[in-house]
């Protein structure tokens, strides 16, 4: 799917509900997984009522994300995104992300996770509003928050995406900034490899977030 077309549908929190409903094959085999990933069952949906945190984490703040395909590290941009990083850190402290999956892979564009429902429709039960910096570009490795097309620019819940485009993803500055992947981008690429080139949907095998820890 051409990048410009992807822009029209990318990061809509509800867009994948039907796709996810028919995706996932109980016959997934570990042999189809890239090296470094382990076979895990599809995560069960979680019903979570989270409490919003408003105080940003201490500086510098890094989120270590442990997945079934390995670990990667996000440098949280607390200076330019204090509300968004505060909310994310609060969700981490509550164990909100533990046991959730990456429900969306668009090779050459983004991978997306952080949905407790597992189908692109879930969130923490509250919203945060924080516009990214003016003229912000979503470059390879950028981590930002997903939202539906109906929601205003800068609004977010719990779902986040990592840009895997070779350079600039070409997105408008509508998605709240969270930070940047500074270690373990090979893990991001493993997850991306479970998508189908030219398609935008669930990975061919489940990828689960085992835990996230915020270090400051």
d(C-alpha 65, C-alpha 113), whole Å: 11
Residue scoring higher pLDDT (13 or 126): 126
User: Looking at the domain assignment, is residue 39 inside a domain?
Assistant: no
pLDDT digits (tens, 9 = 90+) for 102-156: 999 999 999 999 999 999 999 999 999 999 999 999 999 999 999 999 999 999 9
Which residue, among 184, 146, 108, 157, has the nearest Cα to 16 in the 3D structure? 146
Q: What is the pLDDT of residue 21?
A: 36
Structure tokens at 98: 């533990």
Is position 209 within any domain?
yes
- Residue 112 inside a domain? The answer is yes
Q: Is residue 134 part of a domain?
A: yes
Question: Which residues form the domain of 95?
Answer: 3-23+56-215
> What is the structure's pLDDT at 55?
85
Binned at pLDDT 50, 70 and 90, residue 6 comes out as very low
Closest CA relative to residue 7, chosen from 177, 140, 138: 138
Q: Is residue 60 part of a domain?
A: yes
Q: How many distinct structural domains can be found in the chain?
A: 1
Q: What are the tens digits of pLDDT across the range 169-183?
A: 999 999 999 999 999
Instruction: Supply the pLDDT for residue 216.
Output: 79
- Summarised one tens digit per residue, pLDDT across range 16-75 is 433 333 333 444 444 489 999 999 999 999 887 899 998 878 778 999 999 999 999 999
Query: What pLDDT is recorded for position 1?
Result: 36
CATH code of 135's domain: 2.40.100.10
In a domain, 41, yes or no: no
- Going by pLDDT thresholds of 50, 70 and 90, the confidence category of residue 79 is very high
Q: Does 11 fall in a domain?
A: yes
pTM of the entire structure? 0.86
pLDDT score at 60: 80
150 lies in a domain?
yes
- Which tokens is 146 given? 């997903």
């Amino acid at each position: 799917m051409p990048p410009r077309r992807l822009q029209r549908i990318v990061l809509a929190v509800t867009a994948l509900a039907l796709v996810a409903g028919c995706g996932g094959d109980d016959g997934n085999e570990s042999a189809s997984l890239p090296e470094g990933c382990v076979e895990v069952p599809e995560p069960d949906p979680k019903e979570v009522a989270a409490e919003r945190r408003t105080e940003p984490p201490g500086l510098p703040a890094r989120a270590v994300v442990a997945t079934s395909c390995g670990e990667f590290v996000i440098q949280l941009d607390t200076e330019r995104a204090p509300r968004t990083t505060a909310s994310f850190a609060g969700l981490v402290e509550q164990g909100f992300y533990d046991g959730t999956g990456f429900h969306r892979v668009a090779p050459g564009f983004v991978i997306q996770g952080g949905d407790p429902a597992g189908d692109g429709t879930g969130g923490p039960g509250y919203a945060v509003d924080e516009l990214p910096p003016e003229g912000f570009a979503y470059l390879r490795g950028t981590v930002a928050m997903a939202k539906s097309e109906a929601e205003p620019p800068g609004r977010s819940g719990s779902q986040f995406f990592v840009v895997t485009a070779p350079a600039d993803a070409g997105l408008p500055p509508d998605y709240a900034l969270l930070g940047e992947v500074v270690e373990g981008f090979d893990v991001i690429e493993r997850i991306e490899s479970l998508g189908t080139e030219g398609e935008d949907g669930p990975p061919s095998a489940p990828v689960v977030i085992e835990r996230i820890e915020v270090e400051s």
